[in-house]
Structure 1
Amino acid sequence: AKLNMTVDKLPELSKLVGIDVAGRTGGAVSLAVGMANIFSSVPGLARMMNYWYQFLIMFEALFILTTIDAGTRVARYILQDILGNVYAPFKETNWLPGSIFASAAVSCAWGYMVYTGDVPSVWPLFGTANQLLAVLALCIGTTIILKIAPQKKYSLVTFLPMVLLAVTVITAAAANVRMYLNTGKTLNAGLSIIFIALVVVIILDNVRLWLQLFKTGKPVGMKLD
């Protein structure tokens, strides 16, 4: 009402999913209701919208929670590895004081982001990192195919998608850097630059190896460095 927007089909959707979805903040409920509505339009699934809604809410929760869990765990390992250069016991992941300190530090960092409302700014960074991992997977896959395939042309199966994805993601990452710098988020901008630099270094190193592999007329196996 405050936005002068007319409510359309909201009571009907609430009835179909079996839950009052009015006034529920965040995008999780909106996404689940929208997807459930789409899936329920499939022939034979018209009466299953409430099941789709619950399934999608569960899927979102599992995806988000496992992402946060994995991110926190990896961040803890990285922090311990960095601190280990100053105090050696930190490098031991089973050293209890170091594990507690690193876990608390990373958890406090998450809490700070939630408290300041800065979590949405991380999603573009998360998307960039996720897609750059796909670039690395295709890059390494290309190297493996060049090593073991009977014909080098088979490597095009992974090489062409890698080129397309690399150009797209690096361009998007550069756009993120400009956006972060314009909004004063220098930390996010710095992380984006580091991601781009690391991926470029790995790609160039693989290109060097590809040039060596193209000179061989037959599969060399996995032993060539």
Structure 2
Amino acid sequence: MTAAAPRTPFRTPFRPLFRGGAAAAALALAAAGCADADPPATGEPSTPPSARASDGERVAYRGVSLLLPPGWTSRVVTDSFGSLAGPEEDLVEEEWTVLYPDAPECADVGWTWTENSTGCAHLKVLGPLGLEHGGSGYAPVSIDTLTPGSSYTASGDPAPCPEGVPTLEGETPGPDSWETGDRAAGPWTAGYGVGPTACYDGSTGGFAYFEQRLWILDEPGVLVVDNYGLPDAEDVVASVRPA
């Protein structure tokens, strides 16, 4: 992998993007082979949200711990992972963790691994099953195969765009529009990717793209996904330590 300079969301220009028929046509090609319908989400919170985070509070998950920024909260969620369009007996349960700035709109969210549009800006911290099934059509997520139609989408079809996040305008992004590199994650090196991700824009009834960032820690088997350009996300990943 080649090193990529740190990015500020939406500051690095993409090729212009279209939101009309050209985007839909390109997206249909990118999503070829995916499931026909976006299945229902299944996860249920397994623990209540923690109290408001204080300076220095760490959250443990799968052998690592992450430092919560001041004012952030965490929640542990148990979900059924796999191709949710397939047989129910093929699904496997795994816990994942959501981290978010404490806010009223986050109080009653029904967190699931497949949902991007929750009304609450957050980071997803997922384990091996998130890496194995979080891509387009529930395919694996890999730094080496990131494209606008195959990043973290956790769906058979493009999921609704994250609420409150700007979409990229103009021409459809090409398959090489993602930038990848390495980032420090405590004692580990995380594979890092940033680029346009396909989503469904309910306001227009068509496809659009937003900027997604993700970090993959291969050794502990952890995936961190930021769909909101949260300023604290990079510091959270850099704070990772063995639990």
TM > 0.5: no
**Structure in which a larger fraction of residues adopt strand:** 2
Q: Could you say which structure has the higher helix fraction?
A: 1
TM-score by length of 2: 0.18
Higher relative contact order (CA 8 A, sep 6+): 2
Normalised TM-score (structure 1): 0.19
